[in-house]
A = this chain, B = another copy of it.
């Protein structure tokens, strides 16, 4: 029998994972606590709530990313369908910019589970040219969001074995490179979300929730101070169109 435990509705109640939405959740949980509860069926501790809040805040906004530009171009093309604009932006949350969180989480789980964590970290750091969760084109030598996130984890005594694994890996990465390589925000989020006892498999989902909120902010700025035409013209002008052809071989 196929079942869902997420939601059961009757005429006068809506039960989400065993609790009454109107009586036990609305007005009782913050949005972040509700996200944690909805994902796991467990109540977030105050520390887990604080750390998850920090992650959701950290990933929400990073300026005119490809994702934000796609949202703004789509909103300007179809302002009657805001959902399409937000969806277009979310479709850019893939392997290149955010998927690294998941790949980094796998490494942290491996290190945290190893008999000799430091040795495992060294093997990983030595083998690869570029590691997920490490490096940033702009934020060097450190990603300021990482520093802030790890401080939040520490302040709430949630700096657990995955945060430790991240620091061990970071030390080995620096040694292997011969210079400090920043742990970027996706690496930090991977460690914190795992130390919140959230499943690694849902990491991209955390990013999607946070970015959805960020993209709605970009839609709002388009409503009050539209940049769509400028973005379009700027993009178009950056690429030369050639009237002659270039054959494509299969």
Contacts and interface: CB of A to CB of B under 8 A. Distances in A.
B205 A82 contact: yes
B22 A145 contact: yes
Contact of A62 (B14, B23, B31): B14
Tell which of A52, A90, A194 has the most Cβ of chain B within 10 Å: A90
Contacts of A8: 63, 241-243
Interface string A45-85: 00000101110111011111011011001101111111111
A167 to B, nearest CB: 18
Contact of A12 (B18, B77, B144): B144
Given A6-B221, A92-B74, A144-B22, A15 B80 contact: no
B152 A82 contact: no
Contact of A61 (B7, B200, B217): B7
A17 interface: yes
Contacts of A42: 247-248
Contact of A1 (B74, B84, B240): B240
Interface size class of A (residues with CB under 8 A): 35 or more
Contacts of A202: 216, 219-220, 223
Contacts of A139: 9, 11-12
A53 B202 CA distance: 22
A238 B243 contact: no
Given A26-B152, A78-B92, A31 B3 contact: no
A179 to B, nearest CB: 15
Given A14-B144, A93-B77, A248-B40, A241 B4 contact: yes
Nearest to A69: B235
Contacts of A213: 31, 34-35, 38, 209, 212
A186 B129 CA distance: 37
A138 to B, nearest CB: 6
A64 B56 CA distance: 26
23 contacts: A3-B239, A3-B242, A5-B221, A5-B242, A9-B138, A13-B144, A14-B145, A18-B244, A18-B245, A23-B148, A26-B148, A27-B149, A30-B30, A30-B53, A31-B52, A34-B57, A35-B217, A66-B232, A79-B94, A86-B90, A86-B212, A227-B239, A231-B235
